[in-house]
Structure 1
Amino acid sequence: MEFDIIKATETDIEPHRRLFLAETKFQFIYNKCHGAGWVDNYLFEFEERAIGYGSVWGKDKREDRDTVCEFYLEQPFRKYAGQLFKQFVKASGAGFVECQTNDVLLAGMAFESAKNINAEAILFETAFDTDFAIDGAHFIKEKNADEWDAYSIQKYGEVVATGGFVWNYNFPYIDIYYEVKENFRKQGYGALIMQELKREAYRLNRIPAARCNVKNEASKALLLKAGMRVCGYYLSGYLVMKT
């Protein structure tokens, strides 16, 4: 099979990106890269017909384009994924791959073609509702100076935890972040603010998601307690393409 790998614009790959996102039933962390202009895109063609695309971004510097972060093929052509991926890596000059394990196609290419694969983050999706409450603690919404929606847990008027959302992921998903003041940790405030942020996400017509470093056991435990579950891992590795 002969395929063409052509450098492309966002407009060129948009139809296949829509297909990719329609298949994606999870928060896709690289979605923000397209709107921000942080990727170079390549269109895959067979007999002058587009059949998929790939994207590369910078592993350590945004201006670099050394890391495969997206790879999509129409279903009938996925049996040629290994061949096409090899051509794509050669055309783009990428030396690394980063992916989510729940992005099965690219994760498969990573396991076949990369070495020194490391899990850098744990990805979470919502699993069940909780009903935490702490006497005197209230969930507060306010507007901060940067015009981000800012939320806090306040106990008798004192801020003990803060949090909010990162909006630039694929709809309808939204990423939750939070922080508990050091002297109030291990007292239930982290789980409480996660619970309330999940509820707020649904009020905003979004599906809550989160992630944490693989070594952050405290954060992982908190997210699980707050009704989240592990849905994947964020991986990175060095590409080693056999000739």
Structure 2
Amino acid sequence: MSLRVAKSSLIVIDELRRQRRDSIHCQIIRDSILPRGLGDSYLIKIENEDVGYAGVWTRHFPGRVMEFYVSEHVESAASDAFDMLVSVSGAHEAEAQTNIPLMANLLEEKCTDIKDENLLFGEPPEGSDDTSSSGSPGSPGGHDPAFVFRRRRPGDTGPDGAWVVELDHKIVAAGGLLRHYNAPFADIFMEVIPDYRLRGIGSSLIRKLRQHATEHGIRPAARCDIDNDASRKTLERGGMICCGRLQAGKII
């Protein structure tokens, strides 16, 4: 078998990236890294056929593999292709989402000192008893008429975000949807000002953002640091479920 891995460009691997997206049914949290110029692209060839690609961080986590894909018909060569990628790129770490099997399996096979870095969240299964538009127990959303969820207007203050929450005639929280991920997924972000935390506003805002997203054909997702218990609870109370983890380890 003639296997070759070489540094490439985003244009060359674009079709392979599309194939990878089509094969994955969850948010790819590093989907924007290569287009934003934060990593190097590598092309994988077998018998002179373009069969896969990889991405290696050059910023933030230099030397860490963060994307890896080979076509299904050559998955048996994934391990050898990864080894060659490491040799060519000088990568010394790798990361993987546990809900994307190929890279998760390679992380377990090729790395040591594997640690969880982020919890990944998505929508609950269809048919569950979650109701995105309702407030969480004890929260103001959907119950307190003073709770106003609306689009940001010129001159509004408070945290960043296209959507704001008004309570007591002031903006107390804001958030939005980040769309630079594989469609139809978007990342929910939000912030509540300190004096209004621990009142259920964050979880109510998440439910409102989820409702807005689903009404527009967007699948909301989110993540938080592995040790951020407050964010985890807010996301869960906002109706989202943990659907995976981002792990990273040192290449053996």
Task: Tell whether the structures are fold-level matches, with TM greater than 0.5.
Answer: yes
Find the counterpart in structure 1 of residue 60 from structure 2.
60
In 2, distance between residues paired with 1:203 and 1:142? 19
Equivalent position amino acid for 2:225 in 1: N
Does the alignment pair 1:4 with 2:4?
yes
Find the counterpart in structure 2 of residue 166 from structure 1.
178
Contact 2:7 2:41 in 1 (8 A): yes
Displacement of 1:205 in angstroms is 2.8
Does the alignment pair 1:155 with 2:155?
no
Question: Which secondary structure state, in structure 2, belongs to the residue aligned with residue 170 of structure 1?
Answer: coil
Pairs aligned (count)? 235
Instruction: Pick the aligned partner of 1:114 from 108, 111, 116.
Output: 111
TM-score (ref. length: structure 1): 0.91
Find the counterpart in structure 2 of residue 19 from structure 1.
19
The 4+ residue runs of structure 1 with deviation greater than 2 A are 58-61, 202-205
Contact 2:119 2:245 in 1 (8 A): yes
Find the counterpart in structure 2 of residue 139 from structure 1.
149
Contact 2:52 2:69 in 1 (8 A): yes
In 1, distance between residues paired with 2:119 and 2:60? 20
Structure 1 gaps, min length 5? none
Displacement of 1:60 in angstroms is 2.9
Find the counterpart in structure 2 of residue 51 from structure 1.
51
Find the counterpart in structure 2 of residue 186 from structure 1.
198
In 2, distance between residues paired with 1:95 and 1:190? 38
Find the counterpart in structure 1 of residue 231 from structure 2.
219
Displacement of 1:144 in angstroms is 6.2
Question: Which secondary structure state, in structure 2, belongs to the residue aligned with residue 32 of structure 1?
Answer: coil
Equivalent position amino acid for 2:148 in 1: H
Paired-residue identity, %: 30
In 2, distance between residues paired with 1:204 and 1:144? 24
In 2, distance between residues paired with 1:78 and 1:161? 46
Contact 1:121 1:212 in 2 (8 A): yes
RMSD over equivalenced CA pairs, Å: 1.7
Displacement of 1:211 in angstroms is 0.5
Equivalent position amino acid for 1:13 in 2: I
Question: Which secondary structure state, in structure 2, belongs to the residue aligned with residue 34 of structure 1?
Answer: coil
Does the alignment pair 1:199 with 2:211?
yes
CA, structure 1 residues 80+144, in 2 after alignment: closer, same or farther (shift >3 Å)?
A: farther
TM-score (ref. length: structure 2): 0.88
In 2, distance between residues paired with 1:37 and 1:203? 32
Displacement of 1:111 in angstroms is 0.9
In 2, distance between residues paired with 1:18 and 1:138? 40
